[in-house]
Chains A and B, each alone.
Chain A
Amino acid sequence: MTKIAEAGKGAFGFVDDRVGAAKWVKKNLNKVFPEHWSFMLGEIAMYSFIILLLSGVFLSLFFVPSQQEIIYHGSYAPLSGLPMSQAYASTIDMSFDVRGGLLMRQIHHWAALIFLAAMIIHMLRVFFTGAYRKPREFNWLIGIGLLTLGILEGFAGYSLPDDLLSGTGLRIAEAIVQAIPLIGSYAAFFLFGGLFPGSIFISRLYTIHVLLIPGIILALITVHVMLVWYQKHTQYPGPGRTEKNVVGPPFMPIYMAKAGGFFFIVFGITAFLGALFSINPIWLYGPYNPSQISAGSQPDFYMGWLDGLVRMTPNIETHAFGHTISWNILIPALIVPGIFFTTLALFPFIESWVNGDKGEHHLLDRPRNAATRTSLGAAGLTFMIVALLNGGNDIVATHFGLTINGIMWFTRIAIFVLPPIVFMITKRICLGLQHKDRDTVLHGRETGRLVMLPHGEYIEVHEQISTDDQWTLTQHKQYQALVAPVNVDANGLERPVGLKERIRLGLSKWMYGEQVAKPTATDVHELEGGHH
């Protein structure tokens, strides 16, 4: 036995004597993690969360989560002598009087923005490649949960310093709660301990932000990663890659090294942003005062779409029998997001209901091969982007010479009109790419070399692509639209098809009715003779 193995046996033995983990660890040292840059997006999110935990602990050592009013006498002169909460004052002190304090604040806030951006882009990758399909629906649901919690956590985090901008955000959040029918005013009073802003909300928010939500997020991330570990990661299609295997470098040493190294890279890039770019300069915003407001007040980007929806909703309010229902708040702040996130969460189950597929999927889809799904995703993304644009309409107006009124009207219409247009365009693009794939397999790759034939015709020389590439372009499963089974009863009379079944058949036709048939081996062989 080599020296390494000997020493290993000693250390491993110590642990193994107590937990008997040798067999499991041995098996998993050679666990395969397929390699692709798009598989690292979830890692960016996870590492950002760790960075948030680390930097957050530092901040918690200096932050005072109290709304008690004090007079500021610290080193930042423009605030000297002003009354403010201890929360705000301690954050100012942290920024000016604690060495490295502002750096940690900035790293923490940049990491939070990256955490959410990475989750969103990871979710998009999972969606467009169909990685949410069986057996990974649980992970998809956990992911939606993580995204929702992340949004709430970020909002809670930047509201803690109790500055003018985030205080305004809390005011708006309180108005949303207050607008809920029947229980709104009670819920708002319970949340804030009385009239807004009350004197206890920041300390409640603090516990929610440093303990409650991070705890739940940590638990969910653990289950999320454990599921990936157990179910093995999906992989992109290619030669040698099947539904029954997973191909790539082993966990030790390659994956450990690359994943571990990537953590340092993510941390380093976040620190770089924290060093160079100012974020959330609360000393300029001033302490929260409900009678003050700044032009260009927005939430952080992950809530920008909510702000945009609130701005564009028509001013509908109903008054009946001595009560008020504020549709202008409920629709954009609760109903539309609720529908959006619920649809997103149920999507894997709806899709499998529509295509009747109950099998496991471990090979990823190329987005063009799932044209309707990809187009739906593009349409949903368009919806979000239009809403986000309206959320920043005043900043956009002043910087591009437009009017807030014009942008508002544009987005009011665009949010209904643009998604279907983007859907249609994306569908056409996907089908076009499917055509191109089929052509490439059957007729080869265009080489750009033009040749003149003896009788004067010009042709472009096509080069047959490798069998590896041929396989990659044709290995996917193509669903067919479901057909109503012939349903005849004992007397030979046809049973009518129920509404649920008819919806299913309709959706199935919409999803799979239009696609370009992939070339078969027969097609390729037929063309192999007499080919340029």
Chain B
Amino acid sequence: MSAVYGLYPDGHAAQQAVNRLRAAGVADRDITILSARPMEEFEFGQRDRQTWMWWFASFGGLLGMAAGYGLSWLTETSWAIDVGGLPTFAWWPNLIVMFELTMLGAILAAVLTLVVSALLPTRGQTLYDPEVSEGQILVGVERPGEARLADLEQALSAPPGARVKQSP
């Protein structure tokens, strides 16, 4: 048996379950919470807010800008072709290409950060119940160990509307 968890019909019950688990001595990082929508009006929905994503996106934008500048400068100066008397490296038109590649870099960096940091499956965090997508909120502990099982089940079944399950 690899996890014990409870399904709750609303955020208040889920918040109570989380509090009781903490009182039973479970560390925050061992508590798994799953919901079908972001639940930021509750305390448990506020965890793990920290992210470096803005920095990564800005860095991606800088990379894109450098790529745009490098591409236009290197290609235009390596074979200087006179078109309409414009300078070999004309800033106004090249800024356009640099801008587009900057934004592309920022967008791709943000998405890459999301996929790598949140969407790739992590070992030891596989707890899931399909009822979550019907609106139930799952609060549980993975690999709890035999000793604490009774305490955890008691903590999880206390809030109203709880249905406690174990996953094999």
Partners in one complex: no
